[in-house]
Structure formats: structure tokens, C-alpha cells
Amino acid sequence: MIINRKNGVRLAAVGAAAAATMGFFSVGAANADTFIPLPGGSITQTLADGTVVTVNLTDESANISPSMGSTPLHRNVWVNGKASVHLDGAGATGADIQPGYVLACQVDFGAEAGADAAAGGDDGIALGALGGTPIPLSGGGSGGVTLGPGEAVSVDILDLEAADAYGGESHSAYNSFEGTDGSVTWADSTLGVSGCAGYAQARSYVNVTVETDNVSSTVTLWGQPFSLG
């Protein structure tokens, strides 16, 4: 469960990534979990109408555990983090925050967290720290995913439930806030990755969509890539 600490909205967590070779929490030598503290990141961009958007990713970490299947093709991961947004400008009235992770099999993400890596077109995404060649990307996944060599998938962290106009349930992968400040926190969001016989990587992202009277724009912050083993 995720709680937006600013607006008190309860959010259900469904997604996401993680791990590399750093500290270990042992549960027996053959089943050691690997904990990775991650540096997060920050970006500030000025939109065409002068609105200044600052996005921060903090308290980011990942924990990878061997799969119940005990084969190199399976990875189980748990991720944590907090995305916070600050807007500055006369037209700033709120924004949408959409955190997620890109998981990939035998795809090089580059080595840095940063600001300038932005989403590619409808059929791909630039995964390098400063952009790069888009690769085919499927999106909106949750739960377990299967990846082959050269494949990548984006996984939403949020599954925000609300009643629709007809009394049913609607689901959203982003959280909206009004005013100049908003945030979303996720804890122990889980994902299973299978099918990748080679190296697998993951990378967090935070998309922030801002609409004012004069502009509509999305600012993307990328976290640092990390290995899934």
C-alpha cells in the first residue's frame, strides 16, 4: 500500500524492479537476498511559459531475491522510493506524478542517473543517461513479466483505484495533486522477472505532467540503472 503523504490518498502498489551486487541479507548462503541502496536523483526544468518544475527521487532502494524456481531465468525484486514535485510560477496549479520502472534483458541503460534521458517515441524509449537509440518498449505491465534478449518493458508503480461515473472501478497509474507541491511514496513494491537467460537491468523513472493555461509538458527524471543479475 502506498500513501501520498501530502494529500492523504491511499494507493495500491503493483509494480517494479531491482538489484545488483552490493550488500547481502543472508537467508542461507544459497538464498541470500541482495540489497542495493540507490542514489535517486533530481531534475529542474523550466517550461515554455516560465513554470519551473523540480522533481526529486529519494529513499530509493532495491532488494533482489532468488526465485522459488532457483534458476537463473527467474528474479524476484522489491523496490522502495519517494517521488516529490515542486512547481514555481504564476500558472502552476498542480501536476500528475507517474513513477515506474523499465526492465530490460541484455539492453545497456548507460551508467548514470539524470535529467536529460527522456522518453522516445510511441514505439521506443531512449535508455541512456543522455538519451540513445530507442528500443522496442511495451508498457503498462504489472506483476510478473517475461523478457527475451533485447526486450524491455515499462512497469507502473501505482494502481490508484477510484469509483467511475457509473459506480464501477477505474484505475490510474498516476497521482494528481493541486497546488505547488505533491509526493508519492512506495514501499516493497514487487515484481517477478522470468525468461531472461542473459544479464537483466532495471531503471526507475518519474514522469511529471504539468498543464497550465499556456503549456502542457511532461518532465522525466531517470534513476540510476542497476543489475537484476
pLDDT digits (tens, 9 = 90+) for 11-63: 333 333 333 333 333 334 445 788 999 999 999 999 999 999 999 999 999 99
- For residues 183-205, average pLDDT: 87
Q: Name the residue among 58, 35, 47 with its Cα closest to residue 206.
A: 58
**Could you give the number of structural domains in the chain?**
1
pTM across the whole model: 0.74
Q: How confident is the model at residue 129 (pLDDT cuts 50, 70, 90)?
A: very low
Question: What per-residue confidence (pLDDT) applies to 71?
Answer: 66
Q: Which of 128-132, 148-152, 164-168 has the highest mean pLDDT?
A: 148-152
pLDDT digits (tens, 9 = 90+) for 78-108: 999 999 999 999 889 999 999 999 888 888 7
Side-chain-facing half-sphere of 166: CA atoms under 13 Å: 3
Residue ranges making up the domain that contains 169: 2-227
Span of 113-122, 157-166, 170-179 with lowest mean pLDDT: 113-122
What's 168's domain CATH number?
A: 2.60.40.1650
